[in-house]
C-alpha cells in the first residue's frame, strides 16, 4: 500500500496479539492509523474503526476544499492574464488569437523539451506558469506609440529602436508590481517579457544574453513567438505555411535558437500543424 500510495487514502488498523513496543512502533512507521491488541472487545474495535473512517472523510473534505480554492484562484489569474494580454493585442491591431497560439505552442514545445532532455530543472509549478506567463510577453507594447505599433510598412531604424524598448518596458511594469517578490508567476512573466527577443548567438536585445544565459522560459516563448508571427497574417506581411515557417526557422533566417529547442520544434511538427489548422 505504501508502494502504490493507497495508504494515503485508505486507513489501516492493525490487530495483533503481539503487544511489544517494537511491533506497535513498526506498524505506525509503516502507516497504520491505529493498533488493537488481541483479545479485543468487538464494540470497541467497531467504534475505533468508525472514528478512523470519519477522520479520513473529514480530511478528504478539507483537501477537496483547498483544491477547489486553489482552482478558483488559478481561474481568476487565468482570466486576468487573458484580459491584460487581449488589451495589448487590441492596441497592437491584432486579434487575441495570437496570445492563445503563443500559449499553446509554448506548452507543446515545453512538453517535448521535458521528454527529450533533463538539462533544465523545470518544476511542476513552472510547467504551468511558463505557458500562462507567455501571454504577457508583449505587455510592454502598451507603452509604444500606435503609429509605430501599427505601421503597415517597414520600420525605420529609429522606429525599430523605439519598438525594441517594449521588452524592457514590460519587464519594468511587472517588476514594479507590489507583490512581485512573492509571485513566481510574475517573476516568470518578467523573464519572458524582458528576454524573449534575445538570441542564442548573443545578438538579440535588450541585454545581448547568449546561450543558456537566457532563461529557458524566454527561449521557449521566443521560438513560439517567431513561429506564430511567420504563420499569421500581419499588417506588414502575408502568412507563411507551416512547412515554410519551420524551414525558415531551421535555416536560421529568423534568429538563432537553442539547438535542443530546434530539435523539439522538428519533433512536434504534426502537433503544430494541427494547431495551425484549428485556428485558420
Catalytic residue numbers read 141
Question: Side-chain half-sphere of 44: how many Cα atoms within 13 Å?
Answer: 9
Q: What is the spatial distance between Cα 161 and Cα 168, in angstroms, rounded to a whole number?
A: 12
Note whether 168 and 193 are within 8 A (CB): no
CA dihedral 39, 42, 48, 53 (to 10 degrees): 130
Distance from C-alpha of 267 to C-alpha of 269, rounded to nearest angstrom: 6
Indicate the burial class of 123 (C-beta count within 10 angstroms; 0-12, 13-18, 19 or more).
exposed
Give how far the C-alpha of residue 261 lies from the chain's centroid of Cα atoms, to the nearest Å. Answer: 16
Three cell numbers, residue 74? 488559478
Amino acid at each position: 500500500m505504501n508502494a502504490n500510495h493507497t495508504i494515503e487514502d485508505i486507513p489501516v488498523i492493525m490487530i495483533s496479539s503481539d503487544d511489544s513496543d517494537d511491533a506497535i512502533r513498526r506498524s505506525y512507521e509503516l502507516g497504520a492509523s491505529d493498533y488493537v491488541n488481541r483479545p479485543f472487545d468487538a464494540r470497541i474495535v467497531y467504534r475505533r474503526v468508525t472514528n478512523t473512517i470519519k477522520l479520513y472523510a473529514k480530511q478528504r473534505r478539507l483537501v477537496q476544499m483547498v483544491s477547489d480554492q486553489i482552482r478558483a484562484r488559478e481561474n481568476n489569474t487565468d482570466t486576468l492574464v487573458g484580459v491584460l494580454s487581449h488589451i495589448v493585442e487590441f492596441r497592437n491591431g491584432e486579434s487575441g488569437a495570437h496570445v492563445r497560439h503563443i500559449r499553446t505552442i509554448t506548452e507543446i514545445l515545453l512538453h517535448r523539451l521535458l521528454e527529450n532532455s533533463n538539462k533544465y530543472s523545470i518544476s511542476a509549478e513552472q510547467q504551468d506558469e511558463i505557458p500562462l506567463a507567455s501571454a504577457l510577453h508583449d505587455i510592454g507594447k502598451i507603452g509604444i506609440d500606435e503609429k509605430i505599433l501599427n505601421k503597415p510598412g517597414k520600420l525605420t531604424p529609429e522606429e525599430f529602436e523605439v519598438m525594441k524598448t517594449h521588452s524592457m518596458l514590460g519587464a519594468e511594469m511587472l517588476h514594479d508590481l507590489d507583490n512581485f517578490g512573492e509571485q513566481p508567476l510574475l517573476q516568470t512573466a518578467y523573464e519572458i517579457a524582458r528576454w524573449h527577443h534575445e538570441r542564442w548567438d548573443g545578438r538579440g536585445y535588450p541585454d545581448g544574453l547568449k546561450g543558456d544565459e537566457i532563461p529557458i522560459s524566454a527561449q521557449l516563448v521566443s521560438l513560439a513567438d517567431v513561429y506564430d508571427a511567420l504563420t499569421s497574417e500581419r499588417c506588414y506581411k502575408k502568412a507563411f505555411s507551416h512547412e515554410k515557417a519551420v524551414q525558415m526557422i531551421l535555416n536560421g533566417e529568423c534568429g538563432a535558437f537553442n539547438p535542443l529547442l530546434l530539435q523539439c520544434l522538428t519533433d512536434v511538427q504534426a502537433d503544430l500543424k494541427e494547431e495551425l489548422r484549428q485556428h485558420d
